[in-house]
């Protein structure tokens, strides 16, 4: 394999001395840190907190270039959502419905159950699972508005038993995406407001005269949205601060190079900061994939974005063997991992960090984005080391249950009294001691 950098994508080899520095540079993503954005977001949040609807209307007119006068103009009714659904071409309606059905079936399996057990002293202990009362879903506007993301965010909330789902989606210059509205109808969203940016996050977090205050905000967005979500965290829950999309493909060299090139493009076309990495121990295969990339890139509608992404953050990496590929997977902890190998099951035990694992040559990541069933909202930027895909559990919380019998209270009271006195907390101690039986 030549260790040159092709016009489009970097070629790296784990045997190079500078390999680790080069990989670190590719993995580095700055994230949300702009001071000017921070200041503007804080201003917007404070304004919405204080003035509610009026502040939301003014910010929306300014940033989305609209001229509305009331929140009623920024609310879509359930009838409008249904109309959008009914008006879709049958093919789109059926595809959306099939995807929704599979996503629902998968997430139904995630439903945890409450549990209880009894200690020998008769004390009953347990855990009660309760859905959130209200969840807010942020759907990015413009060309980044993905109907599939509406399903991926709203369906787990629904399955979790959330009572009300409030969706916000900006409509810059008044552009509405019917497929997004149709997905909201299908996923059982209760309210839709056509607002976005920090003002929408503020409206969801604090509530306004028209927008119900939610308990948790989920969904991706631009730097204003991410900065606002970070700022309101604590007041409300948030899912995560999502970074650009990523894919890592590990190939044993036997997959059609065109398939692999297109799989890499499928994430690269999202965003100029998206990341696409291929790892293989077969040098000739990497050459073939590099050739496929050059040949197929010009056929993409989003060629410019995909090319920029591959240029900035893409890599074809030659490693020595399967064990080294596994090491790289666990180090990168990719959002999406494709195991384009003959026996993917044999790899599974060794893989500790990945958002979603696509097993075998036929399982392209794109299928997971839309309709396989699992959630496509996944941990990015290495956060798969400590976090998980969006799921039913993100829309629920747990309460502990403690029900002491008189005997249990008496026995536990003795222990608690000793520990409380050790902490010099006499009210605690006496409260426990009252219940000790002679």
Ligand X SMILES: NC(=O)c1ccc[n+]([C@@H]2O[C@H](COP(=O)([O-])OP(=O)(O)OC[C@H]3O[C@@H](n4cnc5c(N)ncnc54)[C@H](O)[C@@H]3O)[C@@H](O)[C@H]2O)c1
Ligand Y SMILES: N[C@H](CO)Cc1c[nH]c[nH+]1
Enzyme catalytic residues: 335-336
| Cβ neighbours for 61, distance < 8 A, ≥ 6 positions apart | 67, 68
**Considering the rule CB under 6 A, would residue 141 count as an interface residue with ligand X?**
yes
Cα separations in angstroms, 149 against 40, 52, 263, 360, 367: 27, 27, 19, 25, 13
Of 269 and 411, the one with the shorter C-beta distance to ligand X is 269
By C-beta, is 148 or 177 nearer to ligand Y? 148
Write out the binding residues for ligand X, residues 148-167 only, by CB under 6 A. 149
364 near ligand Y (CB under 6 A): no
Residue 310 structure tokens:
């591959």
User: Which one of ligand X, ligand Y, Zn ion, none interacts with residue 374, CB within 5 to 8 A by kind?
Assistant: none
Decide if residue 149 touches ligand Y (CB under 6 A).
yes
Q: Indicate the annotated binding residues for Zn(2+).
A: 267, 270, 369, 428
Taking CB under 6 A as the rule, does residue 376 contact ligand Y? yes
Helical (H) or strand (E) element with 13:
strand 10-13
| Residues of span 222-251 touching ligand Y by CB under 6 A | 245
222 binds, among ligand Y, Zn ion, ligand X, none (CB under 5 to 8 A by kind): ligand X
Check: CB of residue 213 under 8 Å from CB of residue 207.
yes
Residues in the chain: 438
| Residue 141 contact, options ligand X, ligand Y, Zn ion, none, Cβ 5-8 Å cut-off depending on partner type | ligand X
Segment lying near ligand X (by CB under 6 A), choices 2-10, 11-19, 20-28, 137-145: 137-145
| Interface segment toward Zn ion; rule CB under 5 A; list 35-43, 129-137, 283-291, 366-374 | 366-374
Closest CA to 137 of 259, 261, 26, 237: 237
85, 224, 265, 281: which one binds ligand X (CB under 6 A): 224
Sign of CA dihedral 163, 231, 183, 193: positive
- CA dist list (Å): 270 to 88, 146, 202, 320: 24, 11, 27, 31
Does 140 interact with ligand X (rule: CB under 6 A)?
yes
The closest alpha carbon to 379, from 392, 366, 391, 393, belongs to 391
Cβ atoms of residues 271 and 310 within 8 Å: no
H helix and E strand count, the chain = 17, 15
Select from ligand X, Zn ion, ligand Y, none the partner in contact with residue 148, using the beta carbon and a kind-dependent cut-off of 5 to 8 Å: ligand Y
Tell me how far the alpha carbon of residue 172 is from its chain's centroid: 23
Per rule CB under 6 A, is residue 146 in the interface with ligand X? yes
301 three-class SS? coil
Per CB under 5 A, the segment of 320-328, 332-340, 369-377, 386-394 that binds Zn ion is: 369-377
Q: How far apart are CB 279 and ligand Y at their closest, in Å? A: 19
Residue with smaller CB distance to ligand X, 245 or 364: 245
User: Per DSSP, what are the bridge partners of residue 340?
Assistant: 251
End-to-end CA distance of the chain: 83
**Binding residues for ligand X restricted to 373-412, rule: CB under 6 A:** none
- Counting contacts by CB under 5 A, is residue 369 touching Zn ion? yes
CA pair distance 237, 217, nearest whole angstrom: 6
What is the spatial distance between Cα 120 and Cα 125, in angstroms, rounded to a whole number?
Answer: 11
Told to check if 138 binds ligand Y by CB under 6 A, we report: no
- Residue numbers at the binding site for Zn ion (CB under 5 A): 369
- Residue numbers at the binding site for ligand X (CB under 6 A): 40, 63-64, 140-142, 144, 146, 149, 170, 172, 196-197, 220-222, 224-225, 242, 245, 271
- Residue numbers at the binding site for ligand Y (CB under 6 A): 146, 148-149, 245, 335, 369, 376, 378
């Amino acid at each position: 394999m030549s260790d040159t950098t092709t016009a489009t994508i970097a070629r790296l080899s784990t045997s190079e001395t500078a390999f680790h520095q080069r990989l670190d540079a590719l993995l580095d993503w700055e994230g949300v840190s702009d001071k000017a954005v921070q200041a503007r977001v804080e201003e917007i949040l404070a304004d919405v907190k204080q003035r509610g609807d009026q502040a939301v209307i003014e910010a929306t007119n300014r940033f989305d270039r609209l001229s509305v006068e009331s929140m009623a103009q920024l609310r879509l009714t359930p009838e409008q959502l249904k109309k959008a659904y009914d008006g879709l071409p049958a093919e789109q309606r059926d595809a959306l419905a099939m995807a929704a059905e599979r996503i629902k079936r998968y997430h139904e399996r995630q439903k945890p159950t409450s549990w209880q057990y009894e200690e020998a002293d008769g004390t009953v202990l347990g855990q009660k699972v309760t859905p959130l009362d209200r969840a807010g879903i942020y759907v990015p506007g413009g060309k980044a508005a993905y109907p599939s993301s509406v399903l991926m965010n709203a369906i787990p909330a629904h399955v979790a038993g959330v009572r009300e789902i409030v969706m916000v989606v900006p409509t810059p210059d008044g552009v509405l995406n019917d497929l997004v509205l149709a997905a909201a109808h299908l996923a059982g969203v209760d309210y839709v407001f056509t607002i976005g940016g920090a003002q929408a996050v503020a409206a969801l977090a604090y509530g306004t005269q028209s927008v119900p205050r939610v308990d948790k905000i989920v969904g991706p967005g631009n730097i204003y949205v991410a900065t606002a979500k970070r700022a309101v965290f604590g007041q409300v829950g948030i899912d995560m601060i999502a970074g650009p999309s990523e894919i890592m493909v590990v190939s044993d060299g036997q997959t059609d190079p065109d398939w692999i090139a297109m799989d890499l493009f499928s994430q690269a076309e999202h965003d100029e900061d998206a990341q696409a990495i291929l790892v293989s121990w077969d040098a000739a295969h990497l050459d073939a994939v590099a050739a496929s990339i050059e040949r197929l890139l010009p056929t993409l509608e989003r060629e410019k974005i995909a090319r920029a992404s591959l240029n900035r953050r893409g890599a074809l990496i030659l490693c020595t063997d399967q064990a080294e590929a596994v090491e790289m997977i666990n180090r990168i902890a990719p959002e999406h991992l494709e195991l384009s190998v003959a026996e993917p099951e044999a790899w599974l035990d060794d893989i500790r960090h990945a958002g979603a694992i696509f097993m075998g040559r036929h399982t392209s990541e794109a299928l997971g984005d839309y309709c396989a069933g699992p959630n496509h909202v996944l941990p990015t930027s290495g956060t798969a080391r400590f976090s998980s895909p969006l799921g039913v559990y993100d829309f629920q919380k747990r309460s502990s249950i403690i029900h002491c019998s008189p005997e249990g209270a008496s026995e536990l009271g003795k222990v608690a009294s000793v520990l409380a006195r050790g902490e010099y907390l006499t009210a605690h101690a006496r409260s426990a001691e009252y219940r000790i039986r002679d």
